[in-house]
Structure 1
Amino acid sequence: MDLFAADPGTLLLFTAISFTAGFVDAIAGGGGLLTVPALLSAGIPPHLALGTNKLCGTFGSSTAALTFIRKGLFTPGRWWAASGATLAGAALGALLTRLVSAGVLKTVLPLAVLGAALYLLWPRRRSATAEPAFQPTRASQWTAGSLIGFYDGFIGPGTGAFWMAAAVRFFRLDLVQAAGLARFMNFLSNAAALAAFMTLGTIDYPLGLTMGMALMVGAWAGAHSAIRFGAPLIRPLFIAVVLAMSVRLLWQQFHG
């Protein structure tokens, strides 16, 4: 799809979706639950949609991650094991998409997005109070990083929300700290998967860069909002976004 040859309404729509995805992703994760269905709905082939989504997603996740680090709400040095596992898992997942046919991906992607959304609605979270004395083990970091990283490289949508759930439930972070961890790990997996998709040649660069600019603006606004308002904003928005995308995908499956 050549975005710049499309009508202004299409350009505006993709820009609005990307801004919203960046804002939501920076706060609660799940921005890919907006961008991937939008790309697929526009008729973009599944492999190209995944690669293009990684290009624009890298812009948004890098902006949000840098904001949390600058504010002192996330320290990368504490999470080297998770970082390495996330990079490796995401690169492997992205490369393996080459072995899957477009027809299979076209069927699997909507179902995977829907499954991720429904799962994220289900778990009951622990208290939002952090436990600073808790030190995540290297094994737990490797496990979370490799599994979620692989999912992000192979499928993608909902990765930030999965990291949020893991950070609160298994690493005992509060919601703001969890958002910082999720944004940083999402940036790493986006970057690793992007490199893999670049080697596969499955990226629409004009579309991805355009969406990426809008995602950056949305991510900057979302990260500052999350830091300022904390759990009262993060929790309801997280639930609302996942619920909305679940309903949307169900509608597409049965009436699309």
Structure 2
Amino acid sequence: MPFDLSVAPTTLAILAAVAFLAGFIDAIAGGGGLLTTPALLTAGLPPHLVLGTNKLSSTFGSATASFTYYRRKLFNPSQWRHALVCTGVGSLIGAVVAHYLPAEWLNKMLPVIVFACGLYLLFGGTPKAPLDSNAPIPRRWQAPQGLTLGFYDGVAGPGTGAFWTVSSLLLYPIDLVKASGVARSMNFVSNIAALAVFIFSGQVDWIIGLTMGSSLMVGAFLGARTAINGGAGFIRPVFICVVLALTVRLAWQHWFGQA
């Protein structure tokens, strides 16, 4: 049954604690899945349930973080319509083909790509905020960026927030705080689109997902407020640490065959 308790209450409490920490980190720099996905696997969930359950809990966290950035006027949806729509479409397609796409080559490239993101921010510096905080956002790159990263989040997911942050810094006249707002908002769109597919496929453990989602919401709210108040000087070192940890995790998993 979908609402039967599939793990021990103690395990559920540990998953909730992990989700809180993941939500806090994810709202600042992305990479929350670095904690929640291994935790779900360790709890004994089958891999197909891990993906769907993680999407359910992640949707709660990304919704809370994105709304917090929106309320602080650090994300304007009207400037990102193309990216929002294309992210949703890309994520739907990615979730549908997730079980059919041979992704071995992509998995082996992930550590390299994620590490490159960290190197860019480490040695490339942090872009300054533009003089005009309402500077227009170019639309030319929004569709391909949204389709690509949305598709990737639907198929796999690790590092999507980091990819959004770095690519947005490269493509648009925004600073690190606003790039984090964009990343959280796009994560929410891709999460909810992919979640619809997982729910339709019956690949969600509702009790675990809702419990972790509630903890993620609290962590995401606190993380987003901390990131906004701390600014780029706070986000940058956290982001770099998350990227380096994500690189090690992906390399260990996909290069050396360790779960």
- What is the TM-score with the length of structure 2 in the denominator? 0.87
Q: Match of 1:128?
A: 127
Return 216-225 or 31-40, whichever deviates more. 31-40
1:18 corresponds to: 19
Q: Is residue 206 of structure 2 the alignment partner of residue 205 of structure 1?
A: yes
Task: Give the Å deviation of 1:47.
Answer: 2.2
Deviations 1:162-212, CA, capped at 9 Å, x for gaps: 111111111131111111111111111111111111112211111111110
SS in 1 for 2:174: coil
CA distance in 1, matches of 2:13, 2:96: 32
Q: Is the 8 A contact 1:134 1:171 kept in 2?
A: no
Q: Take 2:140 and 2:163, find their aligned partners in 1: how far apart are those partners?
A: 18
The AA in structure 2 aligned to 1:201 is G
C-alpha distance in 1 between matches for 2:149 and 2:258: 31
1:28 corresponds to which residue? 29
2:63 paired residue number: 62
What is the alpha-carbon distance in structure 2 between the residues aligned to residue 225 and residue 3 of structure 1? 36
With the length of structure 1 as denominator, give the TM-score of the two structures: 0.88
Q: Aligned equivalents of 2:113 and 2:43: distance in 1?
A: 22
Post-superposition CA distance 1:51-94 (Å, at most 9, x none): 11110010000000111111111111111000110010001000
- The 1:84–1:127 alpha-carbon spacing in structure 2 relative to 1, beyond 3 Å, is same
Change (3 A) 1:217 1:206: same
- Report if aligned partners of 2:11, 2:43 keep a CA contact under 8 Å in 1: no
Retained in 2: the 8 A contact 1:17–1:34? yes
Q: Tell me which protein shows more helix as a share of its residues.
A: 1
Unaligned 5+ segments in structure 2 are none
Residue equivalent to 1:74: 75
> 1:115-194 residue pairs with structure 2 within 5 A?
115=112, 117-124=114-121, 125=124, 127-131=126-130, 132=132, 135-194=136-195
Superposition CA RMSD, Å: 2.6
* In structure 2, distance between residues paired with 1:116 and 1:38: 24
Distance 2:107 2:17 in 1: 21
